Structure 1
Amino acid sequence: MIQCYAKRDFVPTFSYGCMPKLRYVSKVSAAYKYPRLMHGHDDVLEILFVHSGTGTYVVNSAKYPIQQGDAVICNSNVLHDEIPECNNGLSTYCCGISNLQLDGLKKNCLIPDNVRPVVSCHSQQQNISCLMDMLHCKLSSDQKDEEECCHFLMLSLLTILLKLIKANPIYIDKTKKDDNILRGEMIKAYIDAHYDEELSLSYISRAFNLNPYYLIRIFKKVVGYSPMQYITRRRIGEAQKLLVSTDYPVVEIAPMVGYNSISHFNMMFFKYIGISPRKYRNTYTIMKKKSNDCRTKK
């Protein structure tokens, strides 16, 4: 027998007066074929963990290569996106957490704005993978009184990630940007605030007093997409979020994300996701039910 002892007292990372709350956990296998486009969360921190495979993830318009054992930290109000054509056998877990308040950081933020959002967790890969799997299994089982256990699993996950981040933070280069980069960022901020309104290239060009072709060039340099492609990805990504997290009918979601024509909305959603909005919602519901049924049988 080998017996180990807890040797030291510790100062709790999280106080009972302001305890983080687990909102959801999802698991996406490499076989899942519907991409999750650009979106953010007003009151939720998301942690994406790469269980297997490789790919490319976009956080705040910056592209990052990701591989097995990496965690991607998406602070609240930070836009993130995936590039499905870059994925190779990519399987991930995603954990949503709210009510997180760490010293020196904004609410629901795990890292400062100047720290790289991709964290190499290879030294803790097995532990994090086990925690994510247990969280997903327990939540999908829908059995009574699993929430307390999941709460402490979530705290363990956060504690491990915080230690990894503090041990080796990689800082983003914040050197002075040229005028074109600053203009591109201003245009992006404008679109982010108005993507659900009627926007056209000519309208945006007039708003910034720029030639449309010049605007496209500087915007694409910053974001990687043309302005109209970016608007579409913002709209479809937000629609996906509403389809899986609310009960709003599809006919109401379309104008909420900037489409006055339901047929145009359906067409653009199918073009980018490969399935209609209604089927996307139904597929999500069916997958959730199958997961619950599978765990219950076990």
Structure 2
Amino acid sequence: MLLKSVALLSVLAVLCHSASVSVKVLPFVDSSLPVKFREVIAEAAPRVPPNLASYAFAVDLSVPVSLSQLQCLKQAGYSAVFVRAYNPAGQGSFDTNSCNTIQNAYNAGLGTEIYMTPQPASSKQGYQQLDEIYQGLTARGITIRSVWIQVTSPTNWPSNANNNVNFINSIVSRARQYGMTVGIYTSYYDWNQITNGWSSIGNDVLLWYWNVLGGGVNGETPASFADFRAFGCWTTPSVKQFAQVEQVCQFTVNRDVYAAGTMLKAADAVEEDGKIYAGGFIQGSQ
């Protein structure tokens, strides 16, 4: 009987060891990322280079972030954060998590930009989706000075380029009515696939382009605009996303650079009326 018990325990030990070896860390999944980069385990990001005169560093994110994490981000050498204010899930909806993140970013001394991941397949028009952001943030005492529209992942967009152009244009037109600066987050490939290279969006629209070889540190491209090539109506960018799915201060982000000197002071986030002003920090490349 003793021998049987020992044998049974040995078998269980082997099974338990096998089970522990087979356990895998679940990948970070972000539906806003290009399809092939979504399922990547986030790695620690390299440090921000000190005393880099030409470029300043930012991160973009779609998850709620605490004040302490954003204070850590500031101490790590980042100057701004791009916060998602529209969630494309389902029919699309205002991302309420953005409110606290914007407030925390201000308290941490960071500049804040707002971006939306619209839902082009929704029954709601593009301008209605922007209205939801405007109303959601305004109701919480946050005034938006600019908005960036994510136009990536062609598989998430209808195949009719004209319809896509009309959808994007409705957002841009509404943003102009609100007096906002408008920017587009896209790439050479994405823009051509989704809009057929639309080139008349307007010279006042800024560009935030991404060029990443893959998720994680090994997929980074140089933190500069040296790889930019003109497309659409843009001959120069304002922001570049050069890294995706990396960890900074214990949360997962994508990393960006913008031309140093093109951003307002974080103190300008609050004016005399006491409201928080989000967006309008990135002024365009000089």
Q: How high is the TM-score relative to the length of structure 1?
A: 0.25
Give TM-score, length-normalised by structure 2. Answer: 0.25
Decide which structure has the larger Cα Rg and report it: 2
More strand by share: 2
- Normalized per residue, which structure has more helix? 1
Q: Which has the higher contact order (CA 8 A, sep 6+)?
A: 2
